[in-house]
Structure 1
Amino acid sequence: MDFMQDPLWLAGLALAMAFTGLASGLLAGLLGVGGGIVIVPVLFSVFPLFGIPEAVQMKLAVGTSLATIIPTSIQSARKHFAKGTMDVPLLRSLVPSIAGGVLLGTLLGVVVAGSAHTAVFAVIALAVALNMALTGVDWRLRDSFPTGKRRHSIGTFIGAVSAMMGIGGGTVGVPILSMFGAPIRSAVATASAFGVIISIPATIGFVYGGWGNPLLPPLSLGYVNLIGFALIVPASLLAAPWGVKLAHSIPPLLLKRLFAAFLGLTVLRMFWSLAS
């Protein structure tokens, strides 16, 4: 592990993190998805190139992704709230169950083996890809969000899956809210607040869970790499407007299909790594 102390190695890792941020911002602006669903797969592909042990690759990718979501989700939620498009009553009713799900997902993400963690990410990402590939822009299951125990079950699912996958509320939350009749703008606005509820406690959990692990690269707080946090956030903010500009020239349905293709390739890469 001494090679991780080499300044050239650290410089290369920093460049890779900056590239991850650019890719995340571009695809987030282009496809309208949270950066986590882009950051985790990219880091999962980048870390092996730098000799980071397989046992911590997925955990480090997830923890670093969650940390980058904190500032971006706070900024996004504030802007959506100011515009009045956020469904505040629904959000308030889901906060307890999402928070409970985050605790469960963080615990599982820290405890399970790296290969099992990768498999969970791949399966959920495949489900998201199929949803994006096979449904139309306005597809819905019903016209209102469930109440009672079903509502809390959905909130727990959103929190647990998002924390374990290292994603904000948008990737899972927006399709679910849209599925239950929420207009797309309201779904995006409300799910942006999910990201705040998910990212802060989950990041703390991944920091604590990885504290002192000798397999981690330098400048890591538990499973959060500070080089990644410092470079991914500004790079993604820089590239996001490029993606937004490009998105206005591409039909929405085609964007969904492009996102599905991206996730499909990611899933194949992860399953291949598990099989090899």
Structure 2
Amino acid sequence: MLLITAYLILGLFAGLLAGMLGIGGGVIVVPVLIFIFQFSGFSAEVIPHIAIGTSLAAIVFTSLAAIWAQQQRRAIDWHLVRLLAPATLIGGLISGYLAGFIPATLLKGIFALFLVLVGTQFILNWRPAAHWQLPGKIGLWGAGLGIGSLSALLGIGGGNITVPFLHACNLELKRAIAISTALGFPIALFGTVGFVISGWNNALLPSASLGYISLPALITIALASMLTAPFGVQLSHRLPVQKLKQIFGLLVVLIALLMLGNIVNQI
């Protein structure tokens, strides 16, 4: 019951972040799941893989709720989404599969360093200068492959990568967030498939797992996050998002430092 409660609280918070900041929720879901799974006694060799795979699977549902809320406001540029989506799903599938074979400590370390970068970006309110133009189809395919690959590897919806890229290409911030929200679905769906395949029949996995997906965590987090994601979208249009990101950035850096400290203790 304690685990389900933890998953529930995490899902409610992740859904709110997904809709409000356009980050998919994985930035907070993955590290919290790692701590929860460690507390639960899961095998250390598969903990980060299950955390990332489960995060991606939850984002499948979170993104659907956030997409619906964004579409109610007619905020999504579906033409640009259609240009980017095929490459993002290919990158997500390949990266999700290959991530299953990365050693646990290395995968956790990669994610912790990513959190430091994300947190610093939020705190400093850094955004690339909007002096580019959107590339052609080949350039968008290259960008999509990169976005999908990195996002699936890290268990995120891609907002931390997609939004800065689109903003640098002269897209208004809220429009970039809406597009990022829509792209989170194919990234998460095909990344999840990759993690399921790579973790299939792994003897170290706990019960009630589907590949590197924890089904109890997935169901609870997904249901909870779908409830709060639409409210997050509403808040993104009313609250000072940048100020909220700075506060969230401090939390992210703290979590990253805790993860890095945990890695050092395990060496």
> TM-score, length-normalised on structure 1?
0.84
> Which residue pairs with 1:5 in the alignment?
none
> Which residue pairs with 1:59 in the alignment?
49
Check conservation: 1:128, 1:172, Cα contact below 8 A. Answer: no
> Which residue pairs with 1:201 in the alignment?
190
Given candidates 167, 170, 175, the residue that maps to 1:178 is 167
Distance 2:230 2:83 in 1: 33
Paired AA for residue 223 in structure 1: Y
Q: Structure 1 residue 67: deviation in Å?
A: 1.1
Distance 2:6 2:242 in 1: 31
CA root-mean-square deviation: 2.6
Paired AA for residue 108 in structure 2: T
Q: Structure 1 residue 250: deviation in Å?
A: 5.9
SS at match of 1:191: helix
Given candidates 39, 45, 51, the residue that maps to 2:29 is 39
SS at match of 2:178: helix
CA 1:152 to 1:199, structure 2 compared with 1: closer, same or farther past 3 Å? Answer: same
1:121-169 Cα offsets, whole Å, 9 max, x none, are 1222222222222235x76342522335543332111101111111113
Check conservation: 2:11, 2:225, Cα contact below 8 A. Answer: yes
Distance 1:182 1:250 in 2: 20
1:81-118 Cα offsets, whole Å, 9 max, x none, are 45432222322222232123213321331111111111
Q: Structure 1 residue 221: deviation in Å?
A: 0.8
Q: Structure 1 residue 194: deviation in Å?
A: 1.0
Distance 1:158 1:32 in 2: 14
> Which residue pairs with 2:143 in the alignment?
154
Paired AA for residue 247 in structure 2: L
Distance 1:226 1:272 in 2: 29
Structure 2 unaligned segments of length 5 or more: list them.
Answer: none
Check conservation: 2:151, 2:187, Cα contact below 8 A. Answer: yes
Query: Identity over the aligned pairs, expressed in percent?
Result: 35
1:232-253 Cα offsets, whole Å, 9 max, x none, are 1222234557767887886433
1:34-88 Cα offsets, whole Å, 9 max, x none, are 2222111110121111111111111101111111111221233244345432222
SS at match of 1:126: helix
111-120 vs 247-256, greater mean Cα deviation: 247-256
Distance 2:16 2:137 in 1: 39
> TM-score, length-normalised on structure 2?
0.87
145-154 vs 192-201, greater mean Cα deviation: 145-154
Which one has the largest radius of gyration? 1
SS at match of 1:54: coil
> Which residue pairs with 1:74 in the alignment?
64
